[in-house]
Amino acid sequence: MKNLLVSCLGLVLFCCAPVDKQSQQTIETVVFPERAKDMTIYEVNIRQYTPEGTFNAFAEKLPRLKELGVDMLWIMPIQAIGEKNRKGSLGSYYSIRDYKATNPEFGTLEDFKALVNKAHELGFVVILDWVPNHSAWDNTWVTEHPEYYMTDSAAQFVNSRLKMGEDYYKKKGIGDLVYEADWDDIALLNLYNPGTRAAMIGAMKYWVTETDIDGFRADHPTEEIPMFFWEEATAEIDPIKDLFWLAERDEARVHLTFHASYEWGLLSLTEHIAEGKAKADDLHDHILYDMALYGRRPFRLNMITNHDRNAWEGTVFERYGDGVKAMAVFSYISYGMPVMYSGQEAGMNKRLKFFEKDAIDWSDPDNYFSFYQKLNQIKADNKALWTGEFGGVPQKIEDGNEYVFSIVRSKDGNKVIAIINMSGEEQKVQLKNQKGNMTDVFSNQSIEVSSIEKLAPWQYYVLIGN
């Protein structure tokens, strides 16, 4: 977990032959989080990715993702899914029956190993979605180790601090165990129990040692889960290999152990702007406040969709309408680490079913692939846009219009300006304080920045210069 830059001096070999001028070599190994500074995360839904819905079928798509320009593959949970109280015919990925077994729907352990190996050969980082908060009701732990689970009394103790509401935790009729909210296909685990923590950490270590994954995306990592669990987990697992840790949480304290966290607030704010309930200037205020709260070292995820938003809130087109591309540009250029979800690069306009087979339509009639390919290239090639302290500080450009998001980021001689109309109406801007010619990456034309005076609905410029 430590951000170290390890320098190794090469061996100086002495022999009768003349000494090579390059007898001393320095090899630098960059570790996380710096290793991920210019990366884009891609969330993989194995079930819906291909008609087959298997590891092997997805592995065949890796070259296309390499061409897309994403770097880190976050694979949604792959373990065996519970059958008791199952939702739908196939069940939720997040209802784990066996933490050390693959879901036979997806393939075998050997199939998954082959997928990870192929991904590594192509230069991808692979992180596994991990579910520490709850298990399926037919997980063997329920009967063999009921002490691993949250009882009604323990849940009420936790709830006295979380204030989730009187009916948030409910009993299911198996002893005194509980589930939360409307997720009655899961039983809530008790990570305050040392045995639960040891078993969970053991399962996590298994996937690192057996399959060589590169990290974890932690589902629901706080609230009922104490931070000392993550302290123990990272202390035990990190020595195995350099790992990337991502928390599905919008809370500064998770960065005591995690590299990256969700920026739920920014995602919600972009939706409010699309609904006409907020303005572009609110984005500047939000980003400034977020940096004040978190600092610049934590990696904050910036996205316009994910499996939760797509399944329960709507597609990007339902939530953003004609502003989809403008919001996508914002997610890459403004702040944080960009995230894509399966099918986003094909302009997917359907809510993927969560508990049934519902394969993605990859026809991409509007060529969104090229659009996102360009965004990934912009992110990787411009140091100003790198994540956290490795990139440039987002600075507001005064443009005289509260509906236009104008920003400049600079780092080590690299400068990027973004001007985005965050509305469905034509907007006028005044950029008198920004002078000089820069290249618009989408038109590949040189533009005098101060000459930009009018933007069509949802129009955007991304300008590169020195």
What is the CATH classification number for the domain harbouring 71? 3.20.20.80
Instruction: Say what the pLDDT of residue 435 is.
Output: 87
Q: Does 303 fall in a domain?
A: yes
Q: Does 167 fall in a domain?
A: no
Q: Does 225 fall in a domain?
A: yes
Report residue 334 as tokens.
């403004």
Per-residue pLDDT reduced to its tens digit, 43-93: 999 999 999 999 999 999 999 999 999 999 999 999 999 999 999 999 999
Q: Does 16 fall in a domain?
A: no
Instruction: Say what the pLDDT of residue 228 is.
Output: 97
Query: Cα separation of 354 and 182, whole Å?
Result: 15
CB–CB of 113/120 below 8 Å? no
Distances, alpha carbon 178 to alpha carbons 55, 147, 249, in Å: 33, 13, 22
Instruction: Say what the pLDDT of residue 415 is.
Output: 98
Instruction: Say what the pLDDT of residue 152 is.
Output: 78
Per-residue pLDDT reduced to its tens digit, 18-55: 444 344 444 468 999 999 999 999 999 999 999 999 99
Q: Does 288 fall in a domain?
A: yes
Per-position DSSP letters for 275-341, written without gaps between them: TTSS-HHHHHHHHHHHHHHH-SSSEEEE-S--HHIIIII--HHHHHGGGHHHHHHHHHHSSSEEEEE
Instruction: Say what the pLDDT of residue 159 is.
Output: 67
Q: Residue 72 is part of which domain span?
A: 31-151+181-392
Q: Does 300 fall in a domain?
A: yes
The reply to whether the predicted model has a pTM over 0.85 is yes
Instruction: Say what the pLDDT of residue 153 is.
Output: 73
Residues in Cβ contact with 189 at an 8 Å cutoff, skipping those fewer than 6 apart: 132, 133, 134, 135, 148, 149, 150, 196, 200, 224
Number of domains in the chain: 1
Query: Cα separation of 111 and 1, whole Å?
Result: 29
Place of tokens 């075998």: 108
Instruction: Say what the pLDDT of residue 390 is.
Output: 99
Segments of the chain scoring below 70 in pLDDT: 1-28, 157, 159-167, 171-175
Phi, psi (5° rounding) for residue 73?
A: -95, 115
Q: Does 5 fall in a domain?
A: no
Q: Does 360 fall in a domain?
A: yes
Instruction: Say what the pLDDT of residue 16 is.
Output: 41
